[in-house]
Chains A and B, each alone.
Chain A
Amino acid sequence: MSDIAGTKPALRWVVHASVLFLVVLWVVPTLGLLISSFRTADQISSSGWWRSLFPSEQNLTLRSAAPETQVLQNGMYVIEGKLFDENQKATISRWGISSRDVTAFVPDEVAELRRGGTITVSADGDYRMENAEEFTGKRGVRIFVTAELPSEFTFDNYHKVLLDQSSTDSMGKAFFNTLTVTIPATIIPILVAAFAAYALAWMDFPGRALLIAAVVGLLVVPLQLALIPLLKFHLSIGIGKGYLGVWLAHTGFGMPLAIYLLRNYMAGLPRDLIENARVDGATEFQIFTKLILPLSFPALASFAIFQFLWTWNDLLVAKVFLIDATGQTTVMTNRIVELLGTRGGNWEILATAAFVSIFVPLVVFFAMQKYLVRGLLAGSVK
């Protein structure tokens, strides 16, 4: 049934165009940061990232080689060189030798130098200075060029942010810290919640409905309320700030969603299956481990992705329960906030650091989107 598209071609085009527009709107911000992370600091601050996708015309101030490199050729003093690196494929359109008129000459034109001699610059950046007398002075002459430069990208930022141990911008350690927080905080709540979910779905006992209602209620309790009481509790039992504390906290905070998702899924499993197993003499423990757990895999995967994304992306819980004054246990989100404070203008570091932290969740997201969607559909309270 094609109610909107199909019958009216004009409307169909509007639909396609609007979707395209929305998609572009949604993707562009991320794309900007991704592209910026492959540009040098100079490139980022001199032109918008969208320009880097195409060869761009830029005004550059360059300098010829110093007079000490001059050689005597056929009675003329000559300085020769290249304005660009071998691998830089720039094309010069105009050039000049005075800051007042930077576009005075076209390539291969000959210009008179103010201090005697001539200079000519070709389109590919080769230049040649000639003088009957010796060139003097310490520095070469300034050459202003208007050139079309191809887009250029570099992995240097990633190298610096990930591998440079001495660098204060290093994210390597924070990356492993985040991983250390995330994995136990994802696995342990699943196991604990699965047993409880089974009891709530398939065992009969007084107060069951009340407990389910309580879980639904706790689902929306803001974790902000838990910060001080739990920090006090952790300090009083000697856990203090550290990994154990943050694992426990994430386990607790993830529990309502875990129980809710898993219970809903398990309650939907066919009754006959479980009854038959009971009749055949299987114990509840056997039914759970041999039957329910394998069958509940989709729900387990859904929750695992939620919990993984949530713990990986978390800032607040880590700040309160993990990161102490030494800063040894900092996680990536916290590092990025620190960088925003101290390196607010250094977009090459910021963009790269942010992308290092975004990369893993994005991979998980695209690889397991199916389970994420399924979990969302099951998890939103109906």
Chain B
Amino acid sequence: MTPALQGLLTIVIGVSGCVGYFYFSNQFLDKVLFPPRGPNAGRNINRANVIRPWLFLFPALAALGLYLAYPVVETMRLSLTERVPGGGYKWVGLDNYIQMAAEPKFWEAMRNNMFWLIVVPAMSTAFGLLVAQLTDRIRWGNFAKSLIFMPMAISFVGASVIWKLVYDARPAEQDQIGILNALYIFFGGTDPQTWLTIPFWNSFFLMIVLVWIQTGFAMVILSAALRGIPEETIEAAILDGANPFQIFFKIKVPQIKTTILVVWTTITITVLKVFDIVFAMTNGQWETQVLANYMYDKLFRANDWGVGSASAMIIMLLVAPILVWNVRNARKEME
């Protein structure tokens, strides 16, 4: 069977399966289990209403539990065990973590990740805020925003190819085809640089790719927040003689502080998971390793599930504070 047909069949089976499940389980509840008739009609209606939410929730909860909650626990377990030849697992305590901590590549990944965590959210949010503010009052603002937003639709892999061309380097005597080197030569540089192999700075060239993608996201959210600022506060500031910069930094930014924080944390999460860009552009060579790619290396190249899971747990650990913060905010909002 061709995959296309299989896909079509899956859609039909999946959709009709879902609809069928919801329809028939509700029918079963109302007609067979607790029919709202006879001597116990009232009690039956109540009972059916107690069960019904769980009918609606069951498939989603199953998917969430199996595909997200269970793996967290299982990864934790795997990170404390080691595969023994011939199948089965052996409890090794913290050995995997100790082994990982002894690897220079791990610390390189940690160091780079810290830079990523600082630079990408900061620059994306700053650029996003800048564009949001600048485009707020100009006529072609929406058009400009739409173009800056566009990289959001492009895959990390596609973006990697796009930027690899930007960073391309040719020998000095040839015409440069990478625009960065062409500009570098134009402004007086002598030797074309292979940007992606310069240790330390190459990580920043990779970060630019993610900043390029994430700025649009920050811009959209912050732009909406800026528009939500009550006009009176700005009018009052103008009457008091504030200049545009004061209005922006002293009036507008403080009022959208929470939104800025939300944007910042959301991009932080994306950064922690960034894999494709490093994988496609340098594959962690030239000291550009990051945690997610380190983990992929361990899991699928070295086939070391123990250390791989341990590094995954490190990512989880870094995400955890944001997770707690989000949950707390969500609960606060519901009250």
A residues at B contact (CB < 8 Å):
1-6, 11, 15-16, 18-20, 22-23, 26-30, 32-33, 36, 44-50, 176-177, 179-181, 183-184, 187-189, 191-193, 195-196, 198-200, 203-205, 208-209, 211-230, 232-233, 243-244, 247-249, 251-253, 255-256, 259, 283-285, 288, 309, 312-316, 319-320, 329, 333, 336-337, 340, 347, 350-351, 353-354, 357-358, 361-362, 364-366, 369, 372-373, 376-377, 380-382
List the B side residues contacting A376 at CB < 8 Å. Answer: 217, 220-221
Q: Which of B138, B212, B299 is within 8 Å of A5, CB to CB?
A: B138
Interchain CA distance A219-B3 in the complex, whole Å: 30
B33 adjacent to chain A (CB < 8 Å)? no
Q: Are B161 and A30 in contact (CB under 8 A)?
A: no
Q: Which of B67, B130, B166, B313 is within 8 Å of A252, CB to CB?
A: B67
> Would A1 and B231 be within 8 Å (CB), given that A216-B327, A218-B69, A228-B299 are in contact?
yes
Q: Are B56 and A198 in contact (CB under 8 A)?
A: yes
Interchain CA distance A329-B3 in the complex, whole Å: 9
Q: Which of B74, B266, B279 is within 8 Å of A337, CB to CB?
A: B279
B195 adjacent to chain A (CB < 8 Å)? no
List the A side residues contacting B308 at CB < 8 Å. Answer: 228
Q: Which 7 A-B pairs have the closest CB atoms?
A: A252-B67, A313-B155, A196-B60, A365-B153, A229-B74, A199-B56, A226-B71
- Residue count of chain B within 8 Å CB distance of chain A: 121
Q: Which of A20, A209, A255 is within 8 Å of B334, CB to CB?
A: A209
Stretch at the interface among B91-99, B103-111, B114-122, B173-181: B173-181
List the B side residues contacting A1 at CB < 8 Å. Answer: 231, 234-235, 238
Interchain CA distance A287-B72 in the complex, whole Å: 36
Q: Are A221 and B326 in contact (CB under 8 A)?
A: no
List the A side residues contacting B259 at CB < 8 Å. Answer: 382
B101 adjacent to chain A (CB < 8 Å)? no
With both chains docked as a complex, state the minimum distance between the C-beta of A8 and any C-beta of chain B, in angstroms.
8
Q: Are B300 and A320 in contact (CB under 8 A)?
A: yes
List the A side residues contacting B7 at CB < 8 Å. Answer: 179-181, 183-184, 243
With both chains docked as a complex, state the minimum distance between the C-beta of B161 and any C-beta of chain A, in angstroms.
4
List the A side residues contacting B49 at CB < 8 Å. Answer: 203
Q: Mark B41-59, 1 if CB is under 8 A from A, else 0.
A: 0000000011011101101
B253 adjacent to chain A (CB < 8 Å)? no
Secondary structure at chain A's binding surface: helix, strand, loop or mixed? helix
Known interface pairs A29-B179, A285-B23; 7 further A-B residue pairs with C-beta atoms within 8 A, sorted by A's residue number: A176-B4, A195-B57, A220-B319, A225-B75, A230-B67, A309-B153, A329-B3
With both chains docked as a complex, state the minimum distance between the C-beta of B237 and any C-beta of chain A, in angstroms.
8
List the A side residues contacting B280 at CB < 8 Å. Answer: 315, 336-337, 340
B residues at A contact (CB < 8 Å):
3-4, 6-7, 10-11, 14-15, 18-19, 22-23, 26, 30, 49-50, 52-54, 56-57, 59-61, 63-64, 66-72, 74-75, 78, 127, 130-131, 133-135, 137-138, 140-141, 144, 146-158, 160-166, 168, 175-179, 182, 212, 215, 217, 220-221, 224, 231, 234-235, 238, 244, 247-248, 258-259, 262-263, 266, 269, 272-273, 275-276, 279-280, 292, 295-296, 299-300, 305, 308-309, 312-313, 315-316, 319, 322-323, 326-327, 329-331, 333-334
Q: Are B144 and A23 in contact (CB under 8 A)?
A: yes
Q: Are B134 and A229 in contact (CB under 8 A)?
A: no
Interchain CA distance A6-B139 in the complex, whole Å: 12
Q: Are A27 and B147 in contact (CB under 8 A)?
A: yes
With both chains docked as a complex, state the minimum distance between the C-beta of B275 and any C-beta of chain A, in angstroms.
6
Interchain CA distance A373-B152 in the complex, whole Å: 11
> Would A192 and B63 be within 8 Å (CB), given that A199-B57, A218-B68, A316-B275 are in contact?
yes
Q: Are B162 and A354 in contact (CB under 8 A)?
A: yes
List the A side residues contacting B262 at CB < 8 Å. Answer: 380-382
List the A side residues contacting B135 at CB < 8 Å. Answer: 19
Q: Which of B54, B155, B217 is within 8 Å of A357, CB to CB?
A: B155
Q: Which of B66, B70, B312 is within 8 Å of A222, CB to CB?
A: B312
Q: Which of A181, A200, A224, A361 is within 8 Å of B273, CB to CB?
A: A224
Q: List 12 A-B contacts (CB under 8 A).
A: A15-B134, A26-B147, A30-B162, A180-B4, A184-B7, A195-B57, A222-B316, A285-B23, A319-B300, A337-B157, A354-B158, A369-B149
List the B side residues contacting A184 at CB < 8 Å. Answer: 7, 10-11, 14
Interchain CA distance A50-B263 in the complex, whole Å: 35
List the B side residues contacting A44 at CB < 8 Å. Answer: 177
List the A side residues contacting B316 at CB < 8 Å. Answer: 221-222, 225
